[in-house]
Amino acid sequence: MKRILVTGGCGFIGTNFIKFLFNNVSEEHTVVNVDKLTYAANPENLMDIEQNFPTRYFFEKADISDIEKIEKIIDKYEIDTIVNFAAESHVDRSIIGPQDFIQTNIIGTFCLLELVRKFQKMGKEIRFHQVSTDEVYGSLQGSEFFIETAPYNPSSPYSASKASADLLVKSYVNTYKIPATISL
């Protein structure tokens, strides 16, 4: 049985991912939703999942940059997969005050990667998936399309923080050989 840590699971995309797992995936799994419940979070959107799957869905209020707390959660639930939706994501807010974006999107991702690396050293493999954004590629010109090999060209503190997180993931795959993927 998979034991999946979903970070940012009370946000719009994280909530829908969790609902998809429980409503459309036949394989049994446990989901631990870690969210620090900031302005974009709505835990009430998962009340049906909490009620229908009380032995397979768990919520932990935590900040992904609190490495000690996240390590305890990984240990407690014997996590084997992390899907990182946790992010500060409003471009305008990043322009007004980028600190939260740096803390969550870069430092938080770094903390998760460090934990994956630590557990790997102890012989426990944890798969890591980073959820990115098309904003890392910058603005489209005319009828252009982005492709995965396009160069990063972030144009706001938000997109720069997400690009930084993606590059950290790529560096951990190359340097430490952790099993990780990135999607937009």
Q: Are strands 2-7 and 81-84 parallel, antiparallel or unpaired?
A: parallel
One of 57, 135, 137, 166 is an active-site residue; which one?
135
Residues with Cβ within 8 Å of 40's Cβ and at least 6 positions away in sequence, in order, are: 11, 12, 89, 90
Amino acid residing at 122? M
CA torsion 154-155-157-163 (nearest 10°) is -10
Q: Give pLDDT, residue 1.
A: 85
Output the CA angle 122-132-72, nearest 5 degrees: 30
Count H helices and E strands in the chain, helices first.
Answer: 7, 6
Best CA proximity match to 119, nearest among 50, 73, 184: 73
* Whether residue 158 lies in the annotated active site: yes
Query: For 123, which DSSP code?
Result: T
Q: Give pLDDT, residue 20.
A: 97
| Structure tokens belonging to residue 33 | 């939703």
* Whether residue 48 lies in the annotated active site: no
Residues with Cβ within 8 Å of 95's Cβ and at least 6 positions away in sequence, in order, are: 156, 157
One of 48, 78, 134, 144 is an active-site residue; which one?
134
Average pLDDT over residues 150-157: 93
Q: Give pLDDT, residue 143.
A: 63
Q: Give pLDDT, residue 85.
A: 98
* Whether residue 134 lies in the annotated active site: yes
One of 57, 158, 166, 172 is an active-site residue; which one?
158
Q: Is the pLDDT of residue 166 over 80?
A: yes
The residue among 148 and 101 whose pLDDT is bigger is: 101
Calculate what percentage of the chain has a pLDDT beyond 70.
99
Question: H-helix or E-strand containing 128?
Answer: strand 127-131
Q: Give pLDDT, residue 139.
A: 84
59-116 pLDDT per residue, tens: 999 999 999 999 999 999 999 999 999 999 988 999 999 999 999 999 999 999 999 9
Q: Give pLDDT, residue 16.
A: 98
Q: Is the pLDDT of residue 144 over 80?
A: no
Which domains does the chain show, CATH number per domain? 2-183 (3.40.50.720)
Q: Give pLDDT, residue 33.
A: 99
Give the separation between CA 60 and CA 69, rounded to whole angstroms. Answer: 10
Q: Is the pLDDT of residue 159 over 90?
A: yes
